[in-house]
Amino acid sequence: MATLTPRPPLPMRGRGGAALTPRPPLSRLEEGEQPSPTLPVSGAQRLSHGTGARELTDNLGSPLPHAGEGRGVRVALALALLLCALDAGVVPRLALGASSALAGPAAAQRPYSVALSTGAPLDPWHIVLANDFKAACAMPPYRTAAQCLIEDARGDARRQARQIDDLILLRVDAIVLDTAPAGTASAARALSGAVGRACARGVLVVAVDAPAPSSCALTVGVDDAARGRAMAGFLATALGGRGNLLLVTPQQPTPADRQAATAATAVFARFPRLRIVDRVAGDLSSAATAQGAVAKDLPRLPRLDGVFSQGGTDGALRALAAAHRSAVAVAGDGSNGFRKQLLSRTGLTHGLSLDRPSYLAVAALALATRILQGSHARASVTLPAMGVTERTVRAGQTVFPALPDSFPATFTDSGPGAVVVLCAQAAYAGAPCPGSLTVRLP
């Protein structure tokens, strides 16, 4: 067997083709140490194992791509193959399939490597976020401009921190970060430290859905306080500033949920004749949670005029319908089930569906690629929340009758100024849509 001689440092290219100094090795990865293991778990597999969003267990798509499996063997193999390709001047594309095998034709210019690091809890919204990213990576122009991979930490902040260190070792150019709930202060420090190490080694980090765990990262998100004010303002206007309100808030609220709820409560406080008569817990993963909670409380409640809901809106309206009640106005989430009720005006007179778009990772992919190419300022981006009313909802564009009720209808934007337009198979199965993908960023 031929003896392999150590390779010299690899040339890295930055904006304008200028050579970059290779990043120093990680302090925690000593010479010869293997990366930590990464477990291949797709959204469909996780759902089929039993917790929540049961409607999405069938045909959700192929497993999400991942950087490795086993005790770091495949990560190390992928790294070795990538280094060989770089030495030879040929950088193949990472396959978006069940493993991270290298495949694809040689590119005239090295594509930027962009990883989605997701550690979010199990729910349809975050699964669709990853599927949208997967589909976008397989569509022009990102099919050739970026080589993509996805790491799933399965809700474990410490695992996500280790995976980020592995991505630094793989020399990715950018990380789109959907953070895991930290749980403890030490786990939060581990995640913040990993993001800080990525930034220090020149990796562009763009956080979505939640505040970045380190100030060095950029963010792509929406103004959640403005979203909450808009929902509350809609109810106040529709009800003429008076009436009884039911609030449905998440069992485990995210920072975005809390910001929206706080802003909405401040709006309600300006209308003394708007009375909050009950608060119940809802769940984006299952409308049954809100439906059961509302049904339990209804016998003791007075007439309900308005509903403010951040999760399980369609379940809350089904509970009202079962009790032969309805609401004048409802401001709710972006679930497909609630959008169907808007379309048919079931259980309401006026309705607003306003939620965080699940294409945030696609917008982050576009932002990262453009920053690396030098065509966009290195700055965070705020996108508009996705909203439709009973008058503007459209079948096939903002509501999808053939898809499950629990499916997030916010996987795509619509209209002439749409941020991005994606097909249903992109969100449902991670499959590319026909044609090229256009992403409009502020």
Q: Which residue has the higher pLDDT, 49 or 327?
A: 327
Average pLDDT for 20-28: 34
> What CA dihedral angle connects 423, 426, 431 and 437, to 10 degrees?
60
pLDDT value of position 270 = 97
| pTM of the predicted model over 0.85 | no
* Closest CA relative to residue 35, chosen from 83, 65, 68, 9: 68
Look at the block and give the residue holding tokens 């399939």.
97
* 224-355: CATH number: 3.40.50.2300
- What's the pLDDT score for residue 430? 97
pLDDT one-digit tens code per residue, 201-238: 999 999 998 888 899 999 999 999 999 999 999 999 99
Other CB atoms within a 10 A radius of the CB of residue 344 amount to: 12
Q: What pLDDT band is residue 21 in, cutting at 50, 70 and 90?
A: very low
Closest CA to 233 of 277, 282, 284, 269: 269
Distances (CA, A) of 291 to 248, 418, 433: 10, 33, 35
The per-residue pLDDT for 114 is 98
Q: What is the pLDDT at residue 416?
A: 86
**Confidence at residue 184, expressed as pLDDT on a 0 to 100 scale:** 85
Say if residue 414's pLDDT is above 80. Answer: yes
Q: By percentage, how much of the chain surpasses pLDDT 90?
A: 65
Rounded to whole angstroms, the Cα distance separating 436 from 239 reads: 44
Give CA torsion, residues 235, 239, 243, 245, to 10 deg. -20
What average pLDDT does the segment 8-23 reach? 37
- Mean pLDDT along residues 62-89: 42
Tell me if 33-216+358-385+411-429 shares its fold with 224-355: yes
Mean pLDDT value across residues 361-370: 98
Confidence band, pLDDT 50/70/90 cuts, at residue 386: confident
Does the pLDDT value for residue 4 go beyond 70? no
* Average pLDDT rounded to a whole number, residues 44-65: 32
Q: Is the pLDDT of residue 62 over 60?
A: no
Report the distance separating Cα 241 and Cα 260, nearest Å: 20
What pLDDT, on a 0 to 100 scale, did the predictor assign at position 227?
97
Residue 331 token pair: 């401001």
Question: What pLDDT is recorded for position 38?
Answer: 34
pLDDT reading at 19 higher than 80 = no
As a whole number, the mean pLDDT across the chain is 80
Q: Answer yes or no: are the C-beta atoms of 14 and 24 closer than 8 Å.
A: no
Residue 398 backbone zone (phi > 0: left; psi -120 to 50: alpha; other: beta): alpha
Average pLDDT over residues 375-399: 95
Domain 33-216+358-385+411-429's class? alpha beta
At 420 the pLDDT is: 97
- pLDDT classification of 83: cutoffs 50, 70, 90: very low
Q: Angle 216-16-164 (CA atoms, 0-180°, nearest 5)?
A: 35
Q: What is the pLDDT of residue 411?
A: 97
pLDDT at 180: 82
What would the pLDDT profile of 140-190 be if each residue is shown by its tens digit?
Answer: 999 999 999 999 999 899 999 999 999 999 999 999 999 988 778 898 999
What DSSP line would sit under 320-333, residue for residue?
A: HHHTT--EEEEEE-
Average pLDDT for 388-399: 96
Span 387-392, average pLDDT: 96
Give 109's pLDDT tier (boundaries 50, 70, 90).
low
Question: What is the spatial distance between Cα 436 and Cα 442, in angstroms, rounded to a whole number?
Answer: 20
Given this model, what pLDDT does residue 92 score? 36
Q: Domain locations in the chain?
A: 33-216+358-385+411-429, 224-355
Residue 423 has pLDDT above 50, yes or no: yes
Name every residue whose Cβ is closer than 8 Å to that of residue 127 and which is 6 or more positions away in sequence.
43, 44, 46, 47, 53, 56, 60
